[in-house]
Amino acid sequence: MRRLDNIDLRLLRVFVVLADEGGFHDAQIALNLSQSTLSTHLAALERKLGGQLCERGRSGFRLTPFGEATLAAARRLFDDIEGFHARIGQDRHRLVGRLRIGILDGVVTNPHLGLQTALSRYMAYAADVFVDLVLGTPQELEQALLDGERDVVIGAFSQKVPGIAYIPLHREPQALYCGRGHKLFERPAREIGQADIEAALFSVRGYRHFDDLYRVNHPRASASIVQMEAQVMLILSGHFIGYLPRHIGEDWVRRGQMRVIRPESYGFESAHFVATRRLKGERPLIDAFVRELRAVAGVGEAAAAGLGASLAPSGRGVG
Amino acid sequence: MRRLDNIDLRLLRVFVVLADEGGFHDAQIALNLSQSTLSTHLAALERKLGGQLCERGRSGFRLTPFGEATLAAARRLFDDIEGFHARIGQDRHRLVGRLRIGILDGVVTNPHLGLQTALSRYMAYAADVFVDLVLGTPQELEQALLDGERDVVIGAFSQKVPGIAYIPLHREPQALYCGRGHKLFERPAREIGQADIEAALFSVRGYRHFDDLYRVNHPRASASIVQMEAQVMLILSGHFIGYLPRHIGEDWVRRGQMRVIRPESYGFESAHFVATRRLKGERPLIDAFVRELRAVAGVGEAAAAGLGASLAPSGRGVG
DNA sequence: GCATTACATCGATAATTATCGATATAATCT
DNA sequence: AGATTATATCGATAATTATCGATGTAATGC
C-alpha cells in the first residue's frame, strides 16, 4: 500500500484562500507566500483533481464551474474535519483560524503592553492560528473593526465608537519633546513660557491633530505625521516640538538628543485599550488573545527585559 | 501561516489499519512497513492528538476508550473525504459495471441495516450498475469473496479470515424463542430452568451449530436450518426453541405467536459487518456502496433509541 | 531463570515537499 | 509599440517526512 492520504489538504486550503481573496496578489499577503509558490500549488492541485479550477492572468481571476464546485466541496470538507476534531475532543483546546490584529503605530515596542510576550504566549497553544497584523491610526483601526476587517485592535482610543468594546490595558504617559538643536533644548524649564511654545513649530500626530493643538494651546500645526518614527525624526531635526510616548522619548533623552518640555504642564496620559467589536457568541481566538494581553499588561515590568524586536516576523510591520 | 493541514491523514490511516489488524504484526504485512515505522507513526499520532490510542506490547493490543472514539471518528472522516471526491468527481467517474453482493440470510429485512435504503441511494447515482444479489451463510459468503465471486458481503461474521476487510455496521440482538404451542410458552420466566432448556428440542442455525449449542449449554441439536424462514417455521410449530434476530422475532411476539425465553440469560448481540476483499487500487463501485451502507447504518442507529453507537471492532463477537 | 514475543527508540539515509528569486508569457492599457 | 499587470516556469536550496535495521525494553511463557 503506497499512498495512504489520497488528498492534499494544504493545496485545498491554498485554493480556498485564493478564491476568497479573488486572486494571487491578496492571497500572497494573506498566506505570506510568494506568487510563484501559489502558482505552483494551484497547478499541482489542478493536476491532482484533473481539471481547471480558475482562469487567471492579465484578464483577471475567475473560478470555473469546476472550481466553484471544488470550492464548495472543500469548504464542506473542512467543516467535516472540524467535526472530526469535535468528535475526539480536539476542539476543547485547539485554536485554529485567523486572528486579524491592528495596532496603533508607536505602540508595538511599549514594554508596558508587552505585545510580543502576549503573542508568544498565545502562539504557544494556538500554533495553528494565522496571525494577520497591521499598524494604523486609531480611526483606521476602529473603522476596520466595524467593517469586520480586523478582529482586535490595540492602541489609545477615545473610547467613543458605538459597537466597539474597549478593554483598558495600560495608561501611557505622553510628553512634549524638543530636539537637541532646538532653541528650547538648553533653556531652563522655568524660563520656557507659553509664548515660547506658541512660537515653536509644532508637529502634530495626524490622528490627534486638534487634541495636540488644544492641549498646549497652540495656534496651528507646522507638521503632521502619522508614523511615530516620522515624529521622532522631526523632533530630532531640532526644528519642531511634538508629543511622543514616554517609552519612546526616554531613550532619546538618555542619549542627550531630546528633552522633555515642562512635563508638569504639558504631560498627560493616554489610555491604551484592546478593542473588539461587540459580537454575540463565542470568539475563542479573540478571547484567548485578549486574555493574554491583559495578563501581560498586568505583569508589565517583568516582561520588559525581553522586548526590543518588533513583530516583523510576520512581515506585517510597515503599516 | 503555519500548518495549513492541521491533521495528518496518513497517521490516521495507519492507526485504522493497526486497529483493524489488531496489532503490529498483521499491520506490517498489510501496510508493507516495518514494525519500527508503525511504532513511530503511532507514537506521533498520539502526540498530535494528545492521548493514548491503544495499549500494546507483550500483553497484547487493546484500544483505549480514546482510541475507540478516534477510530470511529477517523472512519467517518474518511467517509467524508470520499464524499468530497464524489462531489467534485461525480461527473467524471461514472459508475458502471456489475456489483455482486452477498447477504447473510435473515439480514435483508433488518431495519437497522437499512439495506434497501442504502441500495436505493446507491442506484440514484449508479443507475448503470448491475446489482447481483445472493443470500448465503457466512462461510459461503466469505469463501465467495475470497474466490472473487462476490464483491461485497454483509452479515454477522467472526471476522477472522485473512485477506478480508471487515467494516462494522451494526450490532444486532439475538434472542432465544419458543412458539405458541410449546410447553414453555405459557410458563413464567422464573420457572424455566436449565433442565427445561436442555430437554427442549433445539433448532440450530447450520452455520452457527456449535455456537448456538454452547451458548445455551445444550447437549445436541434436534434441527438444523440454513434459512431464517425455516427457523421461524420450526419455532412456530411449537416444538422447537431456537435463536432468531430480534428484528424478526419481535413481530411474532407482537402477534402472540412466540415468546422470548429468559433474554437476560440467553440473549446476546451479534455484530454485522460489510466485508470486502483486500485489494489494492480503486474500487469505485464497491467503495461507493460501502459508503452508503455505512451512512444508512448510522441513520438507523439514531432512529433506534437505546442502541449504543458502538462501532467498536472489539465485538469479535461470535454472533 | 531463560527464551520468546511484541513493541519502542535511535541513528542514519533517502525521498519528498516547500519555497524563493529570476525570468518568461499573455493580456491589457496608454 | 511599449509599458504595465497578473501570472507561469525553472533551477536551486532548505526543510521536512518517511523509512530502515540494530538495539533496547517490558511482559509472558516454559
Cα B165 from Cα B144, distance rounded (Å): 14
| Domain identity same for B221 and B83 | no
Q: Report whether pLDDT(A316) > 80.
A: no
Residue B162 and residue B284 in one domain? yes
Per the structure, how many domains does chain A have? 3
Last residue in a domain, options A54, A72, A91: A91
Angle, helix A65-87 to helix A9-21, in steps of 10 degrees: 120
- Residue-level pLDDT, tens digit, chain B, 319 residues: 223 344 578 889 889 989 988 889 888 888 888 899 999 999 888 888 878 889 888 888 888 888 888 898 898 888 888 888 887 765 445 556 667 788 887 776 666 666 767 776 676 666 556 667 777 778 888 888 877 778 888 888 876 677 787 887 877 788 899 988 888 888 888 888 888 888 887 887 766 666 777 778 777 676 776 667 778 877 887 778 888 888 788 878 888 888 999 888 888 888 788 888 776 556 777 877 887 787 777 643 333 332 222 222 233 333 3
Looking at per-residue confidence, does A279 or A152 come out higher?
Answer: A152
Q: Are B101 and B164 in a shared domain?
A: yes
Number of neighbours of residue A262 by Cβ within 10 angstroms = 18
The answer to whether B58 CB sits below 7 Å from nucleic acid chain D is: yes
Banded model confidence at residue A7, pLDDT cuts 50, 70, 90: low
Q: Is residue A2 part of a domain?
A: no
Domain with residue A60: its CATH number is 1.10.10.10
Asked if B43 and B58 touch (Cβ cutoff 8 Å), the reply is no
Pair (B185, B242) in one structural domain: yes
Mean confidence (pLDDT) of chain A: 75
ipTM of the complex: 0.48
Quote the pLDDT of residue B15: 92
Q: Is residue B240 part of a domain?
A: yes
Nearest Cβ partner for A4 among B6, B14, B280: B14
Interface of A with B (CB under 8 A): 1, 4-10, 13-14, 31-33, 49-51, 66, 69-70, 72-74, 76-77, 80-81, 83-85, 87-90, 93-94, 96, 127-130
Q: Would residue B299 count as lying in a domain?
A: yes
Residues A132 and A199 in one domain: no
pLDDT of amino acid A112: 63
Give the model's pLDDT for residue A308.
32
**A7/B80 touch (CB, cutoff 8 Å), yes or no:** no
Distant-in-sequence, close-in-space partners of B134: CB < 8 Å, separation ≥ 6: B100, B101, B102, B103, B144, B150
Going by C-alpha positions, the residue among B9, B39, B45, B44 that lies closest to residue B24 is: B39
Nearest CA to the C1' of C22 belongs to which residue? A36
Q: What domain range includes position A193?
A: 172-269
Together in a domain, B185 and B229: yes
Indicate the residue type of B9. Answer: L
Please name the member of B10, B70, B83 whose beta carbon is closest to the beta carbon of A5. Answer: B10
Q: What is the model's pLDDT at position B94?
A: 54
* Signed CA dihedral, A206, A209, A211, A213: sign only: positive
The grid coordinates of residue A67 equal 472550481
Q: How far is A291 from chain B (nearest CA, A)?
A: 22
Higher pLDDT, A172 or A116: A172
A10:B5 CB<8 A: yes
Alpha-carbon distance of A256 to A185, in angstroms, equals 10
Q: Is residue B161 part of a domain?
A: yes
In a domain, B44, yes or no: yes
DSSP assignments along A91-151, one per residue: GGT--EEEEEEEEETT-TT-TTTTHHHHHHHHHHH-TEEEEEEEEE-HHHHHHHHHTTS-S
| Distances from the Cα of A268 to the Cα of A157, A259, B256, B276, angstroms | 14, 16, 92, 78
Domain assignment of residue A319, yes or no: no
Nucleotide nearest A8, from its CA to each C1': C17
Does the structure show a pLDDT above 50 at A303? no
In angstroms, how far is C16 C1' from B28 CA? 22
Strand C–CB B36 distance below 7 A: yes
Say which CATH number the domain at A186 has.
3.40.190.10
Q: What is the mean pLDDT of residues A238-249?
A: 84
Strand intervals (E) in chain A: 54-55, 62-63, 96-104, 128-136, 152-156, 164-179, 201-205, 223-225, 240-245, 258-260, 268-277
* Same domain? B160 vs B283: yes
B95 and B141 co-located in one domain: yes
pLDDT reading at A307 higher than 70 = no
According to DSSP, the residues that pair with B153 across neighbouring strands are B102, B275
- In the 60-99 segment of chain A, residues within 7 Å (Cβ) of strand D are 60-61
- CB proximity A36–strand C (7 Å threshold): yes
Task: Report if residue B1 sits inside a domain.
Answer: no
Residues B151 and B91 reside in one and the same domain: yes
Structure confidence by residue, pLDDT tens digits, A73-132: 898 888 888 888 877 765 445 556 667 788 887 776 666 666 766 776 676 566 566 666
Residues A130 and A241 in one domain: no
**Gyration radius from chain A CA atoms:** 24
> Closest nucleotide to residue B59 (Cα to C1')?
D27
Predicted confidence (pLDDT) at residue A310 exceeds the cutoff of 70:
no
